[in-house]
Amino acid sequence: MNLGWKITEGLQFNLVGQNLFAGTHREFTSPTDPFTPATRIEPNIYGKFTWRF
């Protein structure tokens, strides 16, 4: 999920949320092959300022 606000001309703030609804879980690197490295996936939120000049 990605929400963006244009603060001024040239300056933008984005709030990005990843994996917000599935909770912490395991995933295999390949969704169809279980003999691949498994990793722990956690909810993740970050903000980003973009300044264009």
Check residue 40 for interaction with another protein (CB under 8 A).
yes
Check residue 2 for interaction with another protein (CB under 8 A).
yes
Check residue 44 for interaction with another protein (CB under 8 A).
no
What is the closest distance, in whole angstroms, from the C-beta atom of residue 47 to another protein in the complex?
13
Q: Which tokens in the block code for residue 22? A: 């599935």
Q: Where are the beta strands (DSSP E) in the chain?
A: 2-8, 11-18, 25-28, 38-41, 44-51
φ, ψ for residue 2, nearest 5 deg:
-140, 115
Which positions touch another protein (CB under 8 A)? 1-2, 4, 6, 12, 14, 16, 18-19, 22, 25-28, 31-41, 50
